[in-house]
Chain A
Amino acid sequence: MQTFGQQLINGLSLGSIYALLALGYTMVYGIIKLINFAHGDIYMLGAFWGYYVINQLHFNFIWAMLSAIVFCAILGVIIEYFAYRPLRHSPRITALITAIGVSFLLENGMTYLFTANTRSFPQVIKTVTYHLGGLRISNIQLLILGTACLLMLLLELIIKRTKMGRAMRAVSVDPEAAQLVGINLNHTISFTFALGSAMAGAAGVLIGLYYNSIDPLMGMTPGIKAFVAAVIGGIGSVPGASVGGFLIGLLETGVQAIGLSAYKDAVVYFVLIVILLVLPAGIFGKKTKEKV
């Protein structure tokens, strides 16, 4: 029971990182039907930004996090403007390859500038481990969970309560009709990229604190896992992405805990396939049937 509780805490911490990343995937996919392969690399850049501002400019955690959010949001908008906007009316597979190209560019650009070496992330917050009835939980874990939940709540409010959020939802249902009622398509898409990338930036700083190490290729695997999480949750669905993220985090730690860490990823993919076979559009996805 104790180990179970312990794994639950670890799984939720990891899961909240996946959830933050998955939100970016799901929002972008919902709005322009693009698997933004470079999303994991935005998260890497967020971590590097945090590393830089803490080390060089001696920012504290809050400022590092907020500045990383702003930096990544701007970066997301720039990438969309230069790489994806020219391809909005091209075949979707073309946009996907471009996204892969952007991902390669960010990874290799960073390797070129900062070498492929792993760096240790400055520990701006001293790790304190609390013991609660035999369970160990660190302040960093609480911070990750808390921040992630806060950001998700904020995102939900933006999407549900603001004018821009309404525009986002309108565009994801029908871009043409949204334009007809006066919604600016370009602004809405830019805003979506900004929001998604901001979440990734926050996740990057959090993971730096949690794992204490960063490198230019760190975004690759979590990026793919987060995408899987978004698909499991039902791509395009915001609550789905959160649920999918936590599910994968829990699954991974669970499989590791029972001594099958070598098969950790295989189990994740197996669960993915099984879920898709039962629910072809994910947990919260809407099944669309073509009209004949």
Chain B
Amino acid sequence: MSSPLLTAQQIVKNFGGLTAVANVSVHFDQNELIGLIGPNGAGKTTLFNLLTGVTPVTSGAISLYTDQGVQSLNGKRPAEIAQAGLSRTFQNIRLFKELSVLDNVRIAMTNHYQEGFLASIFRVPKFYRTEADMTLAAQKLLAIFDLTSVADQPAKNLPYGIQRRLEIVRALATKPKLLFLDEPAAGMNPEETADLTRLIRQVQHDFHITIVLIEHDMSLVMNVVERLYVLEHGALLAEGTPNEIQHNPAVIKAYLGDEA
């Protein structure tokens, strides 16, 4: 049993009279690859939004375990949560479209460099040094994911699959401890999905981070994840290894209906 990284205890989210997430408790451990599945409208993305602070929880506790101890993420702004080490991608790709691929990655590194305001506007040598460091780090990251050749292109010009990949690279540039991937294989062909599967494994292996993945593509999910949570109607339906989930009668019923 590895040590926990992020726990959410009995979180609830109400939109008006509608309960989108009902009393869900999850825990993500260090260096784990977890899947989050469920039918459309089950509240998967809402759960991501709650954990990353995009929407505040109605009740419940979210805690991050760091070297300095346990830190509550309740009521924190998304930017603070990102700085604490949670990063994400989006279901409908949200790149900085007009900016170059290199800039997309460098922007994600903003908080890791500090050249000072005056240094930047008066271009003292320290500015050039910081800038060079930052660019080098970004280029290294791009090289790992085979994006060097498009580094100067505006992000909007990239093909769909590459945009998804860039979004993952950008999220990694924030040096996260935990990475949320929201349907990374959506709209991809089988070949691209196979690439993505390799990519996700590689990220977890090379960067030693925890990855949580929302995905509808069962071949991808069952292939890469170590543990799964199944959501239905905003509530937790099941938890277990891919094998356990595949044989769980409640999950089969939720996915295939009563006849199954």
Contacts and interface: CB of A to CB of B under 8 A. Distances in A.
B40 to A, nearest CB: 14
Interface string A255-292: 00000000000000000000000000000000000001
B45 interface: yes
Q: A-B pairs with the 6 shortest C-beta distances?
A: A292-B54, A292-B49, A292-B90, A292-B45, A292-B91, A292-B55
6 contacts: A292-B45, A292-B49, A292-B54, A292-B55, A292-B90, A292-B91
Contacts of A292: 45, 49, 54-55, 90-91
Contacts of B91: 292
Contacts, number: 6
Interface residues of B, number: 6
Chain A binding site: helix, strand, loop or mixed by DSSP?
loop
A286 to B, nearest CB: 14
A292 B49 CA distance: 8
Contacts of B54: 292
A291 to B, nearest CB: 9
A292 B45 CA distance: 8
Interface string B41-67: 000010001000011000000000000
Chain B binding site: helix, strand, loop or mixed by DSSP?
loop
A153 B49 CA distance: 45
Interface string B68-83: 0000000000000000
A292 B54 CA distance: 8
B183 to A, nearest CB: 13
B152 to A, nearest CB: 25
Interface residues of A, number: 1
Interface in B204-251: none
Contacts of B49: 292
A84 B45 CA distance: 41
A292 B91 CA distance: 8
Nearest to B90: A292
A292 B214 CA distance: 14
Nearest to B48: A292
A97 B165 CA distance: 40
Nearest to B55: A292
Nearest to B46: A292
A292 B180 CA distance: 14
Nearest to A291: B92
A265 to B, nearest CB: 36
A89 to B, nearest CB: 18
Contacts of B90: 292
A73 to B, nearest CB: 41
Contacts of B55: 292
Nearest to B91: A292
A147 B118 CA distance: 61
Interface in B18-54: 45, 49, 54
Interface string A155-196: 000000000000000000000000000000000000000000
A292 B90 CA distance: 7
B79 to A, nearest CB: 14
Contacts of B45: 292
Interface in B89-116: 90-91
A107 B197 CA distance: 65
Nearest to B54: A292
B100 to A, nearest CB: 21
Nearest to B52: A292
B55 to A, nearest CB: 8
A283 B54 CA distance: 25
A262 B90 CA distance: 52
A159 B50 CA distance: 41
A169 B55 CA distance: 31
A108 B89 CA distance: 53
A289 to B, nearest CB: 9
A220 B53 CA distance: 45
A290 to B, nearest CB: 10
B187 to A, nearest CB: 18
A292 B89 CA distance: 10
A292 B88 CA distance: 12
B221 to A, nearest CB: 22
A51 to B, nearest CB: 51
B43 to A, nearest CB: 13
